[in-house]
Structure 1
Amino acid sequence: MPLPRFILNDQRVKNSHGFYLLNAGGRFDRFLANPVMLDNHDPDRLIGRWEDLAVEGDLLTAVPVFDEGTELGRERKGQVERGFLKGASIGLYIHAAEYRMNPATGENELYVTEWEQIESSTTALPSNAGALTLKIYDQGRQPVPEERLAAYLDSIVRLTTINEKMPTINQNGGGGAPAPASVSLTAAAQVALGLSGTPDSAAISAAVVELSARYEQEKAAREKLETEAAAAREQATREMIALAIREGRITADQQANYEKLAAADYETTKAALEALPTKASLSAQVKGAAGGSGIPAERKAWNLHAWMKEDMPGLRKLKTDDPEAYAEILKRV
C-alpha cells in the first residue's frame, strides 16, 4: 500500500521551539543530494530516505521510503501503515531570523527567514498538529543543546539585524542576485571563529552566531556559579557571627558591623573573631574557696527563679559540683 505524505513543516503554526519556519527561506540542495530519514534525529539510526519533497501552500511535505533491509526500517514502516506513526521532524541550520508582526495573533513573533535542511526524521512526539518538532544544528552540524537554544536564536536575530543594515556587495558585475562578499580576516580571527580558507560574509556570520551563543551559555553558567558562591558565603557569614555572639566574643548589637566587615574580607573577619576571647559562663565563676564548689557572694540571695533566668548552665553545674548548695537553692522558690 502507498505510504502517506508526511508534513515536515506548516509555516502557519509556531513550532515547539517558539518560532515560525518560513518555507520560502529553505535551502534544500544539500539535503536533496542525500535525503536521509533518521529515527528521531539519531545519526546512527538511518531508516530510509525522503522522496518528492514539495511545498504545497503553507506545507512542506515529502514521501517516506523506508529501508526494509533493516529491522528498524521495517518496524517503522509497519507503524506508519498501521497508523501509529504520523509525526515528522526537520533537522535544520538557521541562517537568519527576525521578529515580525503576526497578523493572526497581533503579536510580534519570531520567524526564521533563511534556513538549510540537514535531515528529516520520523518521530512519535509532534509538537503540534502541523508544524512538528525540530532539531536545530550549529555550523559544525552538531545539535544545539536545549539550554543554549534561546541564546543561539537571540544571536541569530541580532546578527540578522546587523547584516540587514550593511551595504550589499554585488560581485556579479551586473544584474542578478548579489553574491556573498569575501572578507579578509587575520589568522588569529580565523582560528577563533573556527574558519579556514577565504570565508565569505555568510560563513563569518554563521561562525559569529555560534561563538556568540557559546559565550552566552558560558556567561549564564558563570553567573549561576557566582550567585551560588555568594549565597554560600552569606550563609557562612551568618553562621560565623551567630557563633561569635553565642560564645560571647561579640554582642548582638555588633552583628551588623561584623557582617559588613565579612562582606569585604571574610577570612580577615573570621581570624579577628577567633582572636577575641570568649565570655566565661557564669557557671565557671562558681568555685569554692577550699577547692570545692560554692556560690559567689553576689549570688547568695538568688532564688531558683533568678538562677534559671540568669544562669541556667551555672545551676546545672552546681547540681553536679555542689549538691548541697543546689538543694538549698531549690528550697528558695
Structure 2
Amino acid sequence: MPLPKFILNDERVKTSHGFYLLNAGGRFDRFLANPVMLDNHDMTRLVGKWENLSVEGDLLVATPIFDDGTELGNERKGQVERGFLRGASIGLYIQAAEYRTHPTTGEEELFVTEWEMLEASVTSLPSNSGALTLRIYDAGQPIAEEQLSAYLEKVVKLTLKTNNMPNTTGGGGNSAVLTLSAPALGALGLSGTPDSDSISAAIVELSARYKQEKELREKLEAEARTAREKACRDMLSLAVREGRITADQQPIYEKLAAADYEATKTAIEALPVRASLAAQIKSSAHGATIPSERMSWNLHTWMKNDMAGLRRLKAEEPEIYAEILKKV
C-alpha cells in the first residue's frame, strides 16, 4: 500500500531548539540532487530516499521510499505501514536568523529565515506536533546541543550585520547617491554629488588608466634591467681582458655589480691593468722563457686567462707551445 506523506516542517510550530523554521527560506537544490533518508541522522544508516518534496500551506512534506532490499530499510518501512513510526527530522545548515514579533503571540521569537536542507531522517522522537525534530550542521559536522545556543546567536548577529549594510542600489531603478570625500572625488575626476553610475564609470576609467600605466612602467623597467645587465657584462668582460680581475673572480663581481653597479665600476677602475701574459715572456740569449708563476699553467689555464698570449706563443715559440699542449 502507498505510504503516507511525512511532515518535515510545520513553520507554525516552534522546534525543540527554540526557533521557527520558515519554509520560504529553504534551499533544496543540494538535497534534491541526492534526497537521502537516514535513520536518525546516522550517516552510516541509509534506509531510503524522499520523493515529492513540496510545500503545502504551512507544511513542508515529502513521501518516503524505503530501501526494502536492506534489513533496516525493510524494518523501518514495516514500522511506518503499521503506524508505529511517523516522526521526521531535517538535517540543515542555518544561514540567516533574526528575532521577530510573533504575529499570534506578540512575543519576540527567533525565526530562521534562510537555511539549506541536507538530509531528512525518520525518527521516533519528534519534537513538536508537526512531527518535526532537527539536526543542525556546521562545516559538515553536527552541532552539539550545548553549543547550539551560541551558534544561533552568532548567526543572528551576522544576519543583523548584513541587513544593516548600506543599500547602494537605490530604489525604483534609480542610482543611489554616495557621499565621497573631496580627495576621493578628485582622484576619480568628479565633483559635486555624483550618483553610483557616475562613480562606477569613473572607477572603470581609472582602473583602465592604471593598467595602461602599469604595463608601460613594467616595459620601461624591463628595458632598463636589460641595459643594466648588458653594461655589467661588458664592464666585467673588459676587466678580465685588461687583467684587472681574473675569469674566476668574474661571477663575484657580477653579484656586486647587480647590487650596486656604480660602486663596482669604481672599484674595478681602481685596480691596476696587468700586462698580457704573452707580453711577459722574456727573451734571453738562451731563448724565450715564461715567468716562473706561469710555468705550472696547462692549456686550459692559458685559454682561460690569456688566449692572445697563447696564440703568440704558438706563432713565435712553437716549442714552448708544444710543451703547453702536453699539459691538458
Q: Provide the TM-score with structure 2 as the length reference.
A: 0.51
- Alignment partner of 2:152: what SS? helix
| Contact 1:11/1:131 (8 A) holds in 2 | no
For residues 74-101 of structure 1, give each alpha carbon's deviation from its aligned partner in whole angstroms, at most 9, with x where no partner exists.
0000000000000000000000000000
For residues 256-291 of structure 1, give each alpha carbon's deviation from its aligned partner in whole angstroms, at most 9, with x where no partner exists.
xxxxxxxxxxxxxxxxxxxxxxxxxxxxxxxxxxxx
**Offset, 1:106:** 1.4
Q: Which residue of 1 aligns with 2:309?
A: none
- Alignment partner of 1:133: what SS? strand
- Alignment partner of 1:16: what SS? coil
Q: Which residue of 2 aligns with 1:80?
A: 80
Q: Distance in 2 between matches of 1:164 and 1:106?
A: 23
Q: Which residue of 2 aligns with 1:158?
A: 157
Equivalent residue letter for 1:117: M
| Contact 1:96/1:157 (8 A) holds in 2 | yes
Q: Which residue of 2 aligns with 1:141?
A: 140
Q: Which residue of 2 aligns with 1:66?
A: 66
Distance 1:159-1:131 versus aligned 2 partners, 3 A rule = farther
Equivalent residue letter for 1:80: V
| Contact 1:13/1:131 (8 A) holds in 2 | no
Q: Which residue of 2 aligns with 1:108?
A: 108
Q: Which residue of 2 aligns with 1:256?
A: none
Q: Distance in 1 between matches of 2:87 and 2:17?
A: 16
| Contact 1:80/1:86 (8 A) holds in 2 | yes
Equivalent residue letter for 1:141: G
Q: How does 1:8-47 map to 2 (within 5 A)?
A: 8-47=8-47
For residues 122-148 of structure 1, give each alpha carbon's deviation from its aligned partner in whole angstroms, at most 9, with x where no partner exists.
00000111151100000x110001110
| Contact 1:85/1:124 (8 A) holds in 2 | yes
| Contact 2:47/2:67 (8 A) holds in 1 | yes
For residues 103-138 of structure 1, give each alpha carbon's deviation from its aligned partner in whole angstroms, at most 9, with x where no partner exists.
211100000000000000000000111151100000
- Alignment partner of 2:119: what SS? strand
Q: Determine if the alignment matches structure 1 residue 3 to structure 2 residue 3.
A: yes
Q: Which residue of 1 aligns with 2:132?
A: 132
Q: Distance in 2 between matches of 1:82 and 1:135?
A: 26
- Alignment partner of 1:88: what SS? strand
Q: Which residue of 2 aligns with 1:56?
A: 56
Q: Provide the TM-score with structure 1 as the length reference.
A: 0.50
Could you list the runs of 4 or more consecutive aligned residues of structure 1 that deviate by over 3 angstroms after TM superposition?
167-170
Q: Distance in 2 between matches of 1:169 and 1:124?
A: 49
Q: Distance in 2 between matches of 1:71 and 1:3?
A: 18
Q: Distance in 1 between matches of 2:160 and 2:100?
A: 12
- Alignment partner of 1:32: what SS? helix
Q: Which residue of 2 aligns with 1:245?
A: none
Q: Aligned residue pairs: how many?
A: 171
Q: Which residue of 1 aligns with 2:95?
A: 95
Q: Distance in 1 between matches of 2:168 and 2:29?
A: 24
| Contact 1:136/1:143 (8 A) holds in 2 | yes
Equivalent residue letter for 2:81: E
Equivalent residue letter for 1:35: P
Equivalent residue letter for 1:136: I
Question: Aligned-pair RMSD on alpha carbons?
Answer: 1.5
**Offset, 1:62:** 0.0
Equivalent residue letter for 1:45: R
| Contact 1:14/1:131 (8 A) holds in 2 | no
Q: How does 1:173-322 map to 2 (within 5 A)?
A: none
Q: Distance in 1 between matches of 2:109 and 2:129?
A: 19
Bigger Rg, which one: 2
For structure 2, list consecutive stretches of 5 or more residues without a partner in the other structure. 175-328
Q: Which residue of 1 aligns with 2:240?
A: none
| Contact 1:38/1:47 (8 A) holds in 2 | yes
Q: Distance in 1 between matches of 2:167 and 2:43?
A: 37
**Offset, 1:167:** 3.5
| Contact 1:85/1:123 (8 A) holds in 2 | yes
For structure 1, list consecutive stretches of 5 or more residues without a partner in the other structure. 176-333
